Copies of this chain bind each other. A is one copy, B any other.
């Protein structure tokens, strides 16, 4: 693990500052971990990643290599420049939340991607009074012709990764999803760490 590698602990969130042109590799270290992702413009945290504008500009409900994440002001924020598993990442479903876990029957408070988002922002000295829809990296949500969504374990394997390029100065927030009631993070229902590598010079190769 090189000096540029950082960890997002299982079930936790973390914020990363990126400059326009920076690349970040997000490594699914253990294979089946969903990573909820958001971006906020450095110059104004009220300009956030927007899944509805993202689907509109990509004219697609999934997020795949070559596509961009758009902001709430319709500006490019991130581009998916590499994806070792060639996945269709999810743009459709909400980040998990305390209310979702209550509805799943959890009597005790349960960590959630929504809380991770706000906690990670607070640690970065930032706050927004709402929760944007998340880009759900590695999350496997096929859609039937009648519009029904399924929720399957990720199709990725240990070491699979994606590379995102920042298209503006921004704060990237990642949450290693704490969902352990359903198999969305794999049949083992065990949230795992992910690795985050800030890449100095990305050459487009899928180097390990």
Pick from B48, B56, B130: contact of A93, CB under 8 Å: B56
What's the number of copies of this chain in the assembled complex?
2
The dominant DSSP class at the A interface is: loop
Q: In whole angstroms, what is the CA distance A148 to B63 when docked?
A: 11
Q: Interface size bucket, A side?
A: 35 or more
- Chain B CB within 8 A of A12 CB: no
Residues on B with C-beta less than 8 A from A164 are: none
Decide: A73 near B99, CB < 8 A? Known: A51-B52, A61-B143, A149-B55: yes
What per-residue 1/0 map shows which CB atoms of A79-121 lie under 8 Å from chain B?
0000000001000111101011001000000000000000000
Q: Identify the A interface with B (CB < 8 A).
A: 46, 48, 50-53, 55-56, 59-62, 72-75, 88, 92-95, 97, 99-100, 103, 128-134, 143, 145-149
